[in-house]
Chains A and B, each alone.
Chain A
Amino acid sequence: MMESLNAYEYYAYENRPKIRWPNGARVAFWVAPNIEFYELNPPPNPSRKAWPQPNPAVPGYSIRDWGNRVGHKRQMDLLEKYGIRGSVSLSVALCDHHPEIIAACKDRDWEFFSHGIYNTRYTYNMSEDQERAMIRDSIETIHRHTGQKCAGYLAPALSHSEHTLDLFAEVGTELFGDDAGFYTCDLFHDDQPTPVQVRSGKRFISMPYSLEMNDTIVYAVNKVEPRHYLNMLKRHFDRLYEEGAESGTVMCIPTHNYQISCPHRIKAFEEALEYITGHSDVWVATGREIAEHYLANGYDDARTAIARQNGGQR
């Protein structure tokens, strides 16, 4: 085990080169709906149990199934109402199980990125070859069903290995060159995109995907009241909007159709979307659009600044 993954260097949140979003926007805002499939009878992984009860774990399985049967459409309609295209963190097996959902998102020009095959298949204890095969399967599946070259990654159920980011970057390159495999949502160390070092040396970045604003963390882990979640989202936005006048920031709301779309919670989400998109200097974008813009316009300056800050090794 390593003391640190060393995937990124220290980079102080002051005196950074200015990030300039299109049209002078202060905040790049994206919504990342996780569209997941949890298996009723997943195979065991020695490092993590999929369900708290013996299979069939009806409580956990059935609420997640509710998300796809009922919740997804509600969230999709709401995002459409506020002019937001989702960036889907996808359990790619869902392309096979529920192609209607994939088609509906594709019709709306949403982005799809990889969240593994199932959210009940963990990376833990996979060999490098197994993880590589799983990642390759996920990128190929997205391409086969949507025509998209998968740009981003969020490891299934946030289960990682030491090589997850390296492998995603490499497989993306093998399949589609620089068009795939260039951002990760697995790191929570910053409110701006930052360069990430992968072993191939590829231009690769971390995209802010806030766990603090993630509805499952908010509702299921921190057990926050829906109306308070609305306050949290507004405060989070307000501060990033203020700071974004100095240098562009990123706000992400990661969602789950089985949390955000529940009838007793969806109103809070709607009010947050109305509030955020009601501001003039917000760039409503997808993960890929933000990543591409940053790679083209901010990445090199950041690398230079990081090298200078850390003694000019780079």
Chain B
Amino acid sequence: MSLPDDYLDYPWRQYGNDHNRYDWSMLTDRPPVQWPNGKRLAVWVNVSVEFYPLNQRGIPFKVPNGMTMPYPDLRHYSLRDYGNRVGIYRFLKAFDRYNVTPTFALNGQIAERYPSLLSRLADTGAELLAHGWNMDHLHYGGQDKAEEAEQIKRTLDTLRKHSGQSIDGWLSPAKNQSENTPDLLTAEGVRYCCDWVNDEMPYPFRTEQGDLMMMPLPTELEDQFVIGNNLHSEDSWVQQVKDAFDFLLEESATQGGRMLGLNIHPWMMGQPHRIGCLEEVLEYVSGHDAVWQTGSGEILQAFQGQQGSGREASS
């Protein structure tokens, strides 16, 4: 085998990124952010409410945490569905107990399959985000654009109709995207997206319809990543979240407001042996004077209220 000579051509070897979606900027080079009421650390807890179909197609890959056994994989189907029946209600109780205002990112199909769950979540007053149609409808490079556009529209229409909320935020299943996803999202009125983990503060992302704000939700601190993918203990997850919290809080004392995004799953932390660990985390991250615990939409609003589009900050 040999490689063509253009394997050593580098068409994007220039200042900035190797694409035009957003500007290159280091976090510490931007103006410091002040959160409302002198708070230093915005803590955003997002709950991903997911439906994993039994007849998983796996296009173009099997979604993490999806079916792995030969059909019908009742084991994984029902373990995930447990989150929507049992785990989520443990979450709701825990949020009440620690006075936490989360956001809920829902697969669109949840609204059709479990309308009472959707109503219950909407009734909490928390902001709802769209999380794709279901966990087997991935957005991926090379996907047919019309197919993806329909998938996005169906998801947003369904969630908007059933919840009465505007649904401004989007989280793709497995945080996977096609080359068109950001453009298709803004075309459907989505204001911000949580797929790109390349920052710790909101920043603007270019699309054909203008800026989409990116609200980074770190994957590597997620319950499903630490406990499910890495097979760390629940206690270690608690430790890791506390360490992240402590670090960001300390950094915010000298570098301006910071944001901790924590994505959790009712099928994971909603198990009886894990819920106590989630409660320990909620107690820890919500009980500090310097913490502003709220949803992504409010954090973004506060950010834009003082930083505008965020673009001048990075130029």
Contacts and interface: CB of A to CB of B under 8 A. Distances in A.
B140 A53 contact: yes
Contacts of B230: 223, 225
Interface residues of A, number: 55
Nearest to B61: A53
Contacts of B229: 223
B64 to A, nearest CB: 10
A54 B248 contact: no
A227 B241 CA distance: 12
Contacts of A69: 24-27, 198-199
A264 B6 contact: no
A53 to B, nearest CB: 6
Nearest to A47: B1
A130 B19 CA distance: 26
Specify which of B10, B61, B216, B251 lies most central, judged by the most chain A CB atoms within 10 Å of its CB. Answer: B10
A145 B24 CA distance: 19
B76 to A, nearest CB: 20
B1 A225 contact: no
Interface stretch (A19-27, A56-64, A278-286, A291-299): A56-64
Given A53-B60, A54-B140, A56-B179, A100 B195 contact: no
A54 B60 contact: yes
Given A58-B196, A130-B8, A97 B221 contact: no
Nearest to A45: B3
Contact of A121 (B7, B27, B179, B199): B7
A126 B7 contact: yes
A66 B29 contact: no
Interface of A: 37, 39-41, 43, 45-47, 52-59, 61-63, 65-66, 68-70, 72-74, 93, 96-101, 117-118, 121, 125-127, 130, 133-134, 137, 223, 225-227, 262-268
20 contacts: A41-B19, A43-B6, A46-B1, A53-B60, A55-B179, A56-B178, A56-B179, A59-B175, A59-B219, A70-B199, A96-B14, A96-B15, A97-B14, A125-B2, A130-B5, A223-B232, A263-B244, A266-B243, A266-B247, A267-B246
